Amino acid sequence: MKNNRDRQQQARLVSRTGQFSLNVVRLGLPRLHFADLYHSLLTLSWPRFFILIWLSYTLTNSLFALAYLAGGDCITNARPGSFKDAFYFSVQTMATIGYGSMYPRTDYANIIVCIQALFGLWGVAMITGLAFARFSKPTARVVFSRVAVVSPFNGVLTLMYRTANHRSNQILEAQQRVTLIRDEVTSDGEYMRRFYDLQLVRSQSPIFALTWTVMHVIDENSPLYKLTPKDLKEQQAEIVVTLTGIDETVSQTIHARHSFVASEVLWDMRFVDILLRTPEGKRVVDYTRFHEVKAVEEKL
| Percent of the chain predicted with pLDDT > 90 | 62
Whether 200 and 125 map to the same domain: the answer is no
Q: What is the pLDDT of residues 9-38, one digit of tens each?
A: 433 333 333 344 455 666 666 665 666 788
pLDDT at site 277 = 84
Query: Which position has the higher pLDDT, 125 or 28?
Result: 125
pLDDT at site 285 = 86
Q: Is the pLDDT of residue 130 over 50?
A: yes
**CATH value at residue 246:** 2.60.40.1400
CB-count burial class (<10 Å; 0-12, 13-18, 19+) for 224 = buried
Q: For the chain, what is the mean pLDDT?
A: 86
| Per-residue three-class SS string for 58-82 | HHHHHHHHHHHHHCCCCEECCCCCC
CB 254 within 8 A of CB 138: yes
| Domain final residue pick, 136, 158, 181 | 136
Residue 7 sits at the vertex; the CA angle it makes with 21 and 4, to the nearest 5 degrees, is: 150
| Domain final residue pick, 136, 164, 179 | 136
- The whole-angstrom separation of Cα 277 and Cα 281 is 6
**CATH value at residue 121:** 1.10.287.70
Closest listed residue to residue 205, CA positions, set 158, 239, 172, 250: 172
Whether 157 and 49 map to the same domain: the answer is no
Whether 202 and 166 map to the same domain: the answer is yes
Query: Which position has the higher pLDDT, 1 or 281?
Result: 281
Q: What is the pLDDT of residues 67-93, one digit of tens each?
A: 999 999 999 999 999 999 999 999 999
pLDDT at site 214 = 96
pLDDT at site 28 = 64
Instruction: Specify which of 14-18, 37-41, 127-131 reaches the highest per-range mean pLDDT.
Output: 127-131
